Every structure is written in C-alpha cells, then in structure tokens.
C-alpha cells in the first residue's frame, strides 16, 4: 500500500484555486483520485459540468456551491455529492481560505460554459 507523504503531493493552480494532489495513477491509485482544495477568499470559479461523480467534503471555511442552478451554503463538516452530468460552481464569499477534500474516479473531465474541456491532472 503506497503512502503519499504531504511533501510528495503535487500542487496545481487554476481559476484562482489550488489543488494539492495525493492519490492519482502516478502515485499508485488504480480507481480513485483524491486532493485537497484550497479556495482563497473572494474566489469565484467558473461553472463547469463534470463527467464523473465527485464527493466534496469541506474541511474548513464556508462556501457557496451551486449545483444545477441551486445554490447551497456549505460549512465545515458538510459533504456535497456531485453526480455525473451536474453543473457545479464554487464561490468563497468570505475573508478566509476554505479547505476541502475531494474524491472522484480516474478520468474526471469538466466542460466550461463556453465548451472548453478540462482534464485536470489531479484527477487523472
């Protein structure tokens, strides 16, 4: 069983947020990916539609999460299940960084409203 040390995690940045990747095929995972998300104060990520289920658990802070045009206030300890085909937007309207833990299956892709497709390296 591989152990991924925090010093070995790979950090990616996009749309103002940081994704600290721990479990991917590159680190030995065969089915799942997992990362810590760091969403700075004032960040508003663009809406995107995902092709895989994501489990999004908020470790600290507070976020506004919009799923298919319905906005939810999410606080530390809450978990959001994002089903395949759902459109997701994440906003941090607070003055504090929000930290999350996210898992999904390998092969996650996201499509932005303009049709741009993203294959995040922290989920593949």
Q: Which of 1-5, 90-94, 104-108 has the lowest mean pLDDT?
A: 1-5
> Are the beta carbons of 33 and 50 closer than 8 angstroms?
no
Instruction: Read off the pLDDT of each residue in 7-14 and give the average, rounded to a whole number.
Output: 94
* Cβ neighbours for 29, distance < 8 A, ≥ 6 positions apart: 23, 106
Instruction: Read off the pLDDT of each residue in 6-19 and give the average, rounded to a whole number.
Output: 93
18 has pLDDT over 90? yes
Cβ neighbours, 10 Å, residue 28: 11
Which sign does the torsion angle of CA 53, 55, 97, 20 carry? negative
Domains assigned to the chain: 9-123 (2.60.120.10)
* Cβ neighbours for 106, distance < 8 A, ≥ 6 positions apart: 24, 25, 29, 30, 31, 32, 33, 123, 124
Mind listing the pLDDT tens digit for each residue in 23-66?
999 999 999 999 999 999 999 999 999 999 999 999 999 999 99
1 has pLDDT over 80? no
Per-residue pLDDT at 124: 87
86 has pLDDT over 70? yes
Per-residue pLDDT at 2: 86
């Amino acid at each position: 069983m591989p152990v991924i040390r925090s010093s070995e995690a790979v950090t990616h940045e996009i749309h103002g947020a940081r994704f600290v990747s721990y479990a991917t095929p590159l680190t030995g995972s065969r089915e799942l990916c997992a990362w810590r998300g760091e969403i700075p104060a004032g960040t508003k990520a663009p809406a995107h539609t995902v092709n895989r289920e994501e489990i999004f658990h908020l470790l600290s802070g507070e976020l506004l999460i919009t799923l298919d045009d319905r906005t939810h206030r999410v606080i530390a300890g809450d978990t959001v299940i994002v089903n395949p085909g759902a459109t997701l937007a994440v906003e941090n309207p607070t003055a504090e960084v929000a930290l999350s833990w996210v898992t999904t299956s390998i092969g996650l892709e996201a499509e932005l409203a303009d049709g741009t497709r993203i294959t995040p390296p922290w989920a593949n």
